[in-house]
Amino acid sequence: MVDSRLSNFRALPPSERLEAIVRAVELNDDERQALARPGALALDRADGMIENVIGTFELPMGVAANFQVNGRDVLVPMAVEEPSVVAAASYMAKLARDCGGFETSSTEPVMRAQIQILGLTDPQGARLALLRQKDRIRTLANSRDKILVELGGGCRDIEVHIFAETPRGPMAVVHLIVDVRDAMGANTVNTMAEAVAPLIEEITGGSVRLRILSNLADLRLARARVRLTPEALATRERSGAEIIEGILDAWAFAAVDPYRAATHNKGIMNGIDPVVVATGNDWRAIEAGAHAYAARGGRYTSLTAWEKDASGALVGSIEMPMAMGLVGGATKTHPLARVALKIMGVRSAQELGEIAVAVGLAQNLGALRALATEGIQRGHMALHARNIALTAGATGAEVDAIARRMAEEKDVRTDRALALLKALREQA
């Protein structure tokens, strides 16, 4: 059974961290080698994934520790270039696990395909005609993916939305409501939409234009909740109750002001996107769905909610679209995506989405806690100092020595790193 606490993990060199993960989740030799060597994505495989390939581009992959989701310990691979993301998620997960960890849930993996119809003189009549022929449309859509239907998925329903006034005249839009099971679902729903387009033209007498999925996957939601006591949040400088009040004030700012909400939600996606990338999923689709969902009420606002319960504990929650897949696309073709999924031990696309939003909630907690206490830069810049040391030309042990000195001085700048490097080498 996996223990996500990974004792002393941060202090180990990368090779020993890898061996600890290999032992923890029983990776085989091929999986170990895929993580150990650069260029795990072979050029010929990359050439089959996209067009005009000239090489590959790598990101650091780390593992967030301490996560406990619905009572199960989870190691979370994260592919990201920004310092402090993995550390913040791991530390917040450590605080959360002492209070019971994260509780998650999700809806069924249902996606929407949209079919645009123009040239209608009676859009409301067209809507009723389409609804009368719903079973016929659904049957035709499902004929395009019989394997999905056998797995328990497929087109379940249709909706018809009418826009009486648009720059191009009256418009009807059919939504195919499709259960895509463990796929992200884009190819599936797009194929179905194209298949039923001629039938829709026959029924309505209109002209079909666009036939494509919507990334506002508002029927495919993942949710996470965490509860932390004042004792769990207390520091040497501040009481837990004081920190909770600061977090609530910071959240309220994002809840009412879209300028703050944009940065607040970016911090949430700092946690979610690296999980999406590491597992070969479409982070652009997740981002689009997240921000559209944040504005669904007509005003852009926070994706999370933070409250204080009757006992004085801090309670955080998140609910957002999460169109993640375990099959198809880079999730299947990228060797490290397969390893990442094995490390997480997920059994369904829904579970993967739930873990991702738990990480997003943890990341949001870390940012709000920092903002409510010492400010965002103290911890972030201490970790960013390593990047600055590398930029200045430091190598090996020089990196840690210069980063530590700049963090102590609270002066993390490239010119300071250059000066420290020069002094260090002259001394040597």
Q: Which residues are catalytic?
A: 82, 266, 282, 380
Residue among 100, 104, 358 at smallest CA distance from 229: 100
CA distances from 279 to 61, 271, 401 (A): 11, 13, 34
Q: Distance (Å, rounded) from C-alpha 267 to C-alpha 231?
A: 25
- Contact criterion met (CB below 8 Å) for 109 and 182: yes
Q: Distance (Å, rounded) from C-alpha 52 to C-alpha 62?
A: 29
Instruction: Dig out the tokens for 39 from the structure.
Output: 């260029």
Q: Distance (Å, rounded) from C-alpha 260 to C-alpha 14?
A: 36
Q: Distance (Å, rounded) from C-alpha 315 to C-alpha 405?
A: 38
